[in-house]
Structure 1
Amino acid sequence: MKRRQALKHPIALVSMLVCVCCFFIVCVTVLKLPEAPTEEREIGLYPIMRSRKVSLQDVNLGKFGEMMLDMLPQDLAFTVFVPSEDALKRDLRLSVNDSLKPDKFNDTYAIVTRILGFSAVPLALYSANVQLGELVNYDSISGYPLYVSKDIDGMLVVNRIRSEMVDVTKKEIVVHVMDGVIMDAEFEQSVLSDYDAEED
């Protein structure tokens, strides 16, 4: 009789342990533990920007940026790396007060069209589509290669030009405002040499 009771207790003990383990596993899988911080959050060099889609109505792209977007069909997906007005003034000497005058408008329009060719991609690319540490390659609508990566604060870097703002949307178009002008060296030289010739 005593022998039978001794056997019952170890079996009951093992059964209890199995039940507790199963309960613990179910709790962990259902109530998921919070994720550990990623590399991006651990490095504190820049404030972490949360990616959010911003409507173009809330952002001023400037006259040249608006010009670029007006050249694209609004119902097709494009990504445009639009240079800020400060970048256009600094890199190509384009200014709203001077470059949009009637006698210079056609030349300015041609320059902006070329810049659009270098900086527009026929797909929607949000900053969330690019992983930290990854380098992705796209061809612009003019065939110019664009190398896109993400900085640790969530900003995109395209051909070594850093963005000032990301994920601005206008219908199907995604806009990233850049602190520089994406273009090839030949085009840059021709624009700047034309500008220098005008000043002489």
Structure 2
Amino acid sequence: MRRRQVLKHSIAYVSMLVFVCCFFIVTTTVLKLPDAPTKESAMGFYPITRSRKVSPKDANLGKFGEMMIGMLPQDLAFTVFVPSEEAFKRDLRLSVNDALKSDRFNDTYAILTRLLGFSAVPRALSSANVKLGELVNYDSLSGFPLYISKDIDGMLVVNRIRSEIVDVRKKEIVVHLMDGVIMDAEFEQSVLSDNDTDED
């Protein structure tokens, strides 16, 4: 009889110990769970900006952007990821004042033609065509792969370059203004090395 009582007490003691340990683990885990991400913290690397769907009249694509769009037939559907003027200056060291002078115009035009091959897709692709959390892949005119996703504020991200303005219509062409230049590493290296020799 005494043995049974000791056994019952032992089982009750072990059960109580397991219960207390489980309760302790659950409460400390629940209390230390991270907060659900807010819109700002879910963004990660990119700052929050509101999606700006701009009419063609209000959109400023810059001189280089307008030149790139002008190279395409206006009556066919294309999507072009045009770098902003700031991106041209920062990433390729091309400024409108210098690059469009008569002695450098042909070189600049050749660079823009090549960039158009990297950043244009032969179909209309608005930001509404890309679902949040989805990654779509298209080949550009030159066959360069473009990986396109949508950020939580509606902006498109192409090959890790974020858009500043989306869904600008130029007749049948959809234009997205980008905060960077879409190109392959070989072309980037050749353009930057050409710019370095021009400065010397």
TM-score, normalised to structure 1, is 0.76
Q: Against the structure 1 CA distance between its residues 57 and 150, is the aligned structure 2 distance closer, same or farther, given a 3 Å change threshold?
A: same
For 1:55 and 1:68, locate their aligned partners in 2 and report how far apart those are by CA, in whole Å.
18
For 1:135 and 1:69, locate their aligned partners in 2 and report how far apart those are by CA, in whole Å.
25
Give 2:71's aligned residue. Answer: 71
For 2:182 and 2:163, locate their aligned partners in 1 and report how far apart those are by CA, in whole Å.
11
Q: Give, in angstroms, the shift of residue 150 of structure 1.
A: 0.4
Give 2:16's aligned residue. Answer: none
Aligned-partner SS, 1:58: coil
Q: Give, in angstroms, the shift of residue 60 of structure 1.
A: 1.2
Residue correspondences, number:
157
Matched, 1:139 2:139: yes
Give 1:114's aligned residue. Answer: 114
1:38-97 deviation digits (Å, cap 9, x = unpaired) = xxxx94223653x74x33221111110000000000000000000000000000000000
For 2:164 and 2:98, locate their aligned partners in 1 and report how far apart those are by CA, in whole Å.
25
Give 1:44's aligned residue. Answer: 39
Aligned-partner SS, 1:177: strand
One-letter amino acid of the structure 2 residue matched with residue 116 of structure 1: L
Give 2:168's aligned residue. Answer: 168
- In structure 1, list runs of 5 or more residues that go unmatched: 1-41
For 1:194 and 1:170, locate their aligned partners in 2 and report how far apart those are by CA, in whole Å.
32
Matched, 1:123 2:123: yes
Give the alignment's Cα RMSD to 1 decimal. 1.4
Aligned-partner SS, 2:57: helix
Give 1:88's aligned residue. Answer: 88
- In structure 2, list runs of 5 or more residues that go unmatched: 1-36, 41-47
One-letter amino acid of the structure 2 residue matched with residue 62 of structure 1: G
For 2:49 and 2:188, locate their aligned partners in 1 and report how far apart those are by CA, in whole Å.
33
One-letter amino acid of the structure 2 residue matched with residue 77 of structure 1: A
For 2:120 and 2:50, locate their aligned partners in 1 and report how far apart those are by CA, in whole Å.
26
Give 2:14's aligned residue. Answer: none
Give 1:187's aligned residue. Answer: 187
One-letter amino acid of the structure 2 residue matched with residue 106 of structure 1: N
**How high is the sequence identity, in percent, across the aligned residues?**
78
For 1:113 and 1:171, locate their aligned partners in 2 and report how far apart those are by CA, in whole Å.
20
Q: Give, in angstroms, the shift of residue 198 of structure 1.
A: 1.4
Q: Which one is further off, 55-64 or 78-87?
A: 55-64
For 1:182 and 1:48, locate their aligned partners in 2 and report how far apart those are by CA, in whole Å.
22
One-letter amino acid of the structure 2 residue matched with residue 44 of structure 1: K
For 1:48 and 1:107, locate their aligned partners in 2 and report how far apart those are by CA, in whole Å.
36
Give 2:157's aligned residue. Answer: 157
Matched, 1:198 2:198: yes
Aligned-partner SS, 2:164: strand
Give 2:15's aligned residue. Answer: none
